[in-house]
Amino acid sequence: MQINDTAAIVTGGASGLGGATAKALAAKGARVFAFDLAASIDQADTVDGVTYVEADVTDGAALRPAVEQASSSDVPLRTVVNCAGIGPSSRILSKKGTHDLDLFHKVVNINLVGTFNVMTLAAEAIAQTEPLENDQRGVVINTASVAAIEGQIGQIAYAASKGGVVGMTVPAARDLASHGIRVMTIAPGIIDTPMLATVSDEFRASLAAGVPFPKRLGRPDEYAQLAVDIVEHDYLNGDVIRMDGALRMAPR
């Protein structure tokens, strides 16, 4: 599927994986609508071809107008990349007591329910576009994590949310097949995003040392490159691609 002269939605599009993906899709000629919270948009770089849209992925009623904005331009909405997410750490039991239930709800609501919410509303819009060759209309790319398979100590909420994203992949692809919409999931390893900005160089080096090859952290632009490849590769559907340098997470 060609990217030029189409519209794309990227959630979490003001920074990190989403920011890199929005930039990469715009460079390919897409009209990108980068959904994010106001505080993140205020700090975002200006990128040609990228329009920032304030949107909370967990708010269905408020999200619908944002999707309508992306789908009502003079080019068809074809691509959705879900990158919005959070990753706080907490154990089920610790010296502080039990895992906070509200925190668990929050992580699952943003990472899993938010992904489902955007995918559903965007698929509704994509399904109304004119079909391309082989009745294809578009693609949704969701973001999981290697933590979905090998969650570490303290990642119970994050792993549960990302495991849900992995679990949605095949049924979502089957549900949307009749509408000509593909669904894929990327499961990144340790990526050098703003979430790692506060860690020390020593800790960053220890994270990189655990990656078999190449022995470094992944880059957001590599995620973006893979997302672009998935959009353009029409036969990729209903699967999860790990992008982790052969990393298999240890317990901690």
Buried b (16+ CB within 10 A) or exposed e, 84-94: bbbbeebeeee
Which pLDDT score, from 0 to 100, does residue 199 have? 67
Task: Give the pLDDT confidence score for residue 198 in this predicted structure.
Answer: 64
Can you give the pLDDT at residue 242? Answer: 98
Q: What is the CATH number of domain 7-192+219-242?
A: 3.40.50.720
Question: What residues does each domain of the chain span?
Answer: 7-192+219-242
What is residue 194's predicted lDDT score, i.e. its pLDDT?
Answer: 76
**Catalytic: 235?**
no
Q: Residues of the chain whose pLDDT is less than 70?
A: 197-199
Predicted pLDDT of residue 202:
80
pTM greater than the 0.85 cutoff:
yes
